[in-house]
């Protein structure tokens, strides 16, 4: 009934909507598979510290979005409608809340909350910030793809939560799931409202394709193994 | 204000403090309240799960004003709250009034105050009685009650039974222990009684009782919005005037509606709220203790989707499909409002 990708508010993506949806479907599926694989491995060795390590790049994403969104508003915000400035700022606030919530979950599992970019999240973070330098809409496209990717992780996480009883993590991600519908819808609306030229659309596609190839990787069991052995 | 100034103590001799009290209430109360009475709470009984029976009497032992089945009183509570409750005692008993109050989980001062703060021997200020649900003469009667909607029905049954006329009661509730006055109803002579706890028997079988038009019967129904809507629909083939409905509680503010405001009924509790033009529906729901999932509060995320049971929503969101908007069966309460004067929501 509600599909936030079909949000109204602009026509700037009309020519590339199908391709964007293919990219987003692909990254959601890759993230879902990566999450399933992580929890299949976790089922064999349900050590809370492993789950904490898996959540660390999640936490970093949340706080990196805060930095990025604030910089996005500072650099480019005045080209947007005031309503969109407000909503981007609201998203930023919610991302900060998510960092706090996921951070609490990590600590409850015996892990440490990242205060600098975790190595496994660096390619993702570098790409995001590179997009911000390239084009006023590119970083929005990249985080929109990244935010959308997370939706593939929710159901496998909730199922694993039932199996292993990490209720607090599930509760937190249920809240995040709601907020991410807002973030995904807002990103799509902003892109559709302000993309005017073919160059704009090319930059949006470039950012989404690049993020498609990165966003799911930190959900894999291999990513956690490498991070813990580093 | 002249009404306030010139109001006389009631013929019963009950204490009236009109000038003092009425100045704190709205123009609706001034227009509608006939008399104010400062009554003594003579008895409190928890008669079913979440239901409190309150008996009231005049402090000086004087007789209370007469009333007829279907009448209600306005109960004036702290914080300028006014709530309407049907009189459910014996109309022949002029020494006491009785009301039944369901504890509304969304309550922020109405039923919660009555349930939690009242004590026997204490006082309660009420206005009335008034009657918008009078019992008409008929050869046969079908009474349908949902939950606390049984309250105005009880004196009706008592009256009809006293006249020796045939009557049928169809009484539904969530569970047997949540259904008030079961024992008392069972003691009323004559008639045909169908007690239908939902957890034992499901919903009321309206088709069985309303499927065939009975030209010599009238139907009286009181209960939550969805029950009334269903009964109204089933009675479309009945003769005009056969059906008499009363919703749980008229809004205390409906009569001084501002342009751009609208009324919302929460179907699961029967509660009604007014949404002023400068406030969102979601804000009003939250203020009244009804939590609705939400995130953006801007018509984008779709998480505050609520089913619309009746009325016409005015959609201001960006995310519902045009088809869903036109169908009007759901709405996002963060930004959307009403084209009709009233919406009934599945809350």
**Looking at per-residue confidence, does A198 or B9 come out higher?**
A198
Rg (alpha carbons) of chain B, rounded to whole number: 21
B304-308 LR contacts (CB < 8 Å, sep 24+): B304/B332, B304/B333, B304/B334, B305/A1, B305/A2, B305/B330, B305/B331, B305/B332, B306/B330, B306/B331, B306/B332, B306/B333, B306/B345, B306/B346, B306/B347, B307/B345, B307/B346, B308/B343, B308/B344, B308/B345, B308/B346
| B326 contact A CB<8A | no
Q: Span B319-339, mean pLDDT?
A: 94
pLDDT the model gives residue B267: 86
Q: Which of the four pLDDT bands, split at 50, 70 and 90, describes residue B255?
A: very low
Confidence (pLDDT) at B346: 92
Q: Is the pLDDT of residue A137 over 90?
A: yes
Non-local (6+) Cβ contacts of B82 within 8 A are: B25, B29, B74, B75, B76, B127, B252
User: Is residue B256 predicted with pLDDT exceeding 80?
Assistant: no
What would the mean pLDDT of A73-99 be, rounded to a whole number?
97
Which residues fall within 8 angstroms of residue B141, CB to CB, at 6 or more apart?
Answer: B156, B157, B160, B165, B166, B167, B168, B217, B218, B220
Chain B residue closest in CA terms to A187: B300
Q: What is the pLDDT of residues B229-239, one digit of tens each?
A: 889 888 888 88
**pLDDT tops 90 at residue B12:** no
Highest mean pLDDT among A211-220, B4-13, B284-293: A211-220
Q: Which of B303, B318, B319 sits opposite A178 (nearest CB)?
A: B303
Is there a contact between A6 and B320 if contact means CB atoms under 8 Å apart?
no
**Minimal Cβ distance to B302: which of A4, A8, A90:** A4
Inform me whether the pLDDT recorded for B269 exceeds 90: no
Q: Is A104's Cβ below 8 Å from some Cβ in B? A: no
* Contact check, Cβ <8 Å, A1/B298: no
- Whether residues A6 and B303 touch (CB distance < 8 A) is answered with no
B275: tokens are 């949404």
B1 pLDDT band, cuts 50/70/90, is very low
Option in A1, A4, A94 nearest B300 (CB): A4
What was the pLDDT predicted at B21?
Answer: 31
Q: Write the pLDDT tens digit of every residue in B285-326.
A: 998 889 999 999 999 999 999 999 989 999 999 999 999 999
Percent of chain A with pLDDT strictly greater than 90: 97
Which residue in chain B has the smallest CA separation from A91? B296
Mean pLDDT across B154-176:
95
- The confidence score (pLDDT) of residue B105 equals 73
Nearest chain B Cα distance for residue A9, angstroms: 7
This prediction's pTM: 0.59
The ipTM estimated for the assembled molecules is 0.91
Q: Is-contact B231 B243, C-beta < 8 A?
A: yes
For A140-198, what is each residue's pLDDT tens digit?
999 999 999 999 999 999 999 999 999 999 999 999 999 999 999 999 999 999 999 99
Cα(B301)–Cα(B298) distance, rounded to whole angstroms?
8
Mean pLDDT of the region B100-125? 86
Q: Which whole number is the average pLDDT over A83-90? A: 97
Beta bridge partners of B142: B168, B219
Q: What is the pLDDT of residues A37-57, one digit of tens each?
A: 999 999 999 999 999 999 999
CA terminus-to-terminus distance, chain A? 45
pLDDT at B254 over 50: no
Mean pLDDT is lowest, of A128-137, B102-111, B139-148, B175-184, for B102-111
Distance from CA of B327 to the nearest CA of A (A): 12
B258: pLDDT confidence band, cut at 50, 70 and 90?
low
């Amino acid at each position: 009934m509600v599909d936030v990708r079909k949000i109204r508010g602009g026509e700037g993506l009309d020519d590339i909507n199908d391709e964007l949806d293919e990219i987003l479907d692909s990254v959601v599926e890759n993230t879902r598979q990566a999450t399933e694989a992580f929890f299949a491995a976790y089922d064999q060795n349900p050590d809370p510290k492993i789950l904490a390590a898996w959540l660390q790049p999640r936490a970093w994403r949340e706080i990196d979005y805060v930095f990025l969104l604030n910089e996005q508003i500072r650099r480019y915000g005045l080209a947007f409608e005031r309503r969109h400035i407000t909503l981007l700022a609201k998203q930023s606030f919610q991302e900060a809340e998510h960092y706090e919530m996921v951070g609490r979950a990590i600590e409850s599992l015996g892990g440490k909350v990242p205060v600098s970019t975790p190595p496994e999240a660096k390619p993702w973070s570098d790409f995001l910030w590179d997009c911000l330098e390239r084009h006023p809409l590119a970083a929005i496209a990249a985080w929109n793809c990244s935010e959308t990717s997370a939706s593939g992780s929710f159901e496998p996480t909730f199922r694993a939560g039932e199996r292993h009883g990490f209720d607090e993590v599930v509760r937190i991600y249920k809240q995040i799931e709601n907020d991410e519908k807002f973030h995904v819808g807002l990103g799509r609306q902003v892109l559709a409202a302000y993309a005017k030229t073919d160059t704009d659309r090319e930059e949006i596609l470039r950012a989404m394709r690049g993020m498609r190839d990165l966003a799911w990787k930190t959900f894999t069991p291999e990513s956690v193994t490498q991070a813990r052995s580093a | 204000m002249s009404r306030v100034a010139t109001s006389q103590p009631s013929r019963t001799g009950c204490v009236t403090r009109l000038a003092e009290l009425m100045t704190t209430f709205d123009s609706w109360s001034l227009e509608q309240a006939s008399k104010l009475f400062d009554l003594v709470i003579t008895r409190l009984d928890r008669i079913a799960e979440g239901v409190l029976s309150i008996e009231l009497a005049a402090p000086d032992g004087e007789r209370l004003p007469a009333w007829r089945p279907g009448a209600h009183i306005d109960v004036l509570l702290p914080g300028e709250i006014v709530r309407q409750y049907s009189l459910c005692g014996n109309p022949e008993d002029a020494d006491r009034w009785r009301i039944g109050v369901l504890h509304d989980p969304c309550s922020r001062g109405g039923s919660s105050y009555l349930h939690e703060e009242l004590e026997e021997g204490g006082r309660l200020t009420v206005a009335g009685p008034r009657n918008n649900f009078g019992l008409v003469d008929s050869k046969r009667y079908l009474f349908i009650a949902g939950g606390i909607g049984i309250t105005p029905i009880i004196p009706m049954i008592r009256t009809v039974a006293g006249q020796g006329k045939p009557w049928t009661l169809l009484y539904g509730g969530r569970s047997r222990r949540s259904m008030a006055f079961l024992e008392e109803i069972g003691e009323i002579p004559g008639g045909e009684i169908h007690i239908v706890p939902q957890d034992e028997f499901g919903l009321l079988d309206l088709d069985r009782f309303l499927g065939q038009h009975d030209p010599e019967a009238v139907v009286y129904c009181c209960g939550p919005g969805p029950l009334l809507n269903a009964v109204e629909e089933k009675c479309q083939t009945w003769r005009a005037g056969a059906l008499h409905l009363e919703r749980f509680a008229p809004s205390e503010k409906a009569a001084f509606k501002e342009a751009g405001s609208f009324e919302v009924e929460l179907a699961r509790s029967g509660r009604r709220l007014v949404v002023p033009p400068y406030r969102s529906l979601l804000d009003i729901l939250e203020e009244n203790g009804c939590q609705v999932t939400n995130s953006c509060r801007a018509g984008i995320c779709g998480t505050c989707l609520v089913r619309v049971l009746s009325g016409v929503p005015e959609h201001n969101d960006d995310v519902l499909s045009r088809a869903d908007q036109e169908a009007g069966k759901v709405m996002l309460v963060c930004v959307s409002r009403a084209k009709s004067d009233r919406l009934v929501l599945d809350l």
